[in-house]
Amino acid sequence: MNYALYMPNVQTPSLTVDVDSDVSIVQQIVNGLRGALVRGDLAPGDSLPSSRALGRDLGVHFNTVAQAYRMLEAEGWLALKRRAGTVVRERPNPALEDAENLALTDSFKKELLDLRTRYQALGVEREALDSALEDLIETRRISK
């Protein structure tokens, strides 16, 4: 089942959770919120729903949401305060050492390759995957 959350700065619903997915619910929430944060749909100063409210909307336990919030807090995106709720923080992009940067880029390439290979093995045509890759690059060019 999928549920939706409405962001303060965007009209279309985002943050859906698929209980049947093989990626954990916490990770799905983290991915969805991180995407909104990177896109700017959630901006510094914005308040997020309480873990209980979001858990209710998503159909999961509030502790599951709370854990996702804490992971995003650890990444520097959110500030969590008791009773006051969860707020988006100002978050400068982390500066990386060259070595870290190279290592991360390599990991990215490896994950990317595995991802593409997996869908290719499932029978998706090369052209469809290629154009999805192109689309991602293009989208980024336009949006920035």
Contacts 24+ apart (CB under 8 A), 88-92: 88/37, 88/42, 88/43, 88/44, 88/45, 88/46, 88/47, 88/48, 89/44, 90/44, 91/37, 91/44
Tokens encoding 17: 């959770």
Q: Does 101 bind DNA (CB under 7 A)?
A: no
| 52 contact choice in DNA, a second copy, none (CB below 5 to 8 Å, kind-dependent) | DNA
Q: Using the rule CB under 7 A, which residue among 3, 43, 46, 50 binds DNA? A: 50
Q: Does 95 bind DNA (CB under 7 A)?
A: no
* C-alpha–C-alpha distance, residues 54 and 56, integer Å: 5
> Where in 9-38 is the site for DNA (CB under 7 A)?
24-27
Residue 52 vs 113, nearer CB to a second copy = 113
Q: Which of 15, 37, 69, 77 binds DNA (CB under 7 A)?
A: 69
Among 4, 10, 19, 96, binds a second copy (CB under 8 A): 96
As a whole number of angstroms, the distance between CA 55 and CA 66 comes to: 9
Q: Which is nearer to DNA, 19 or 132 (CB)?
A: 19
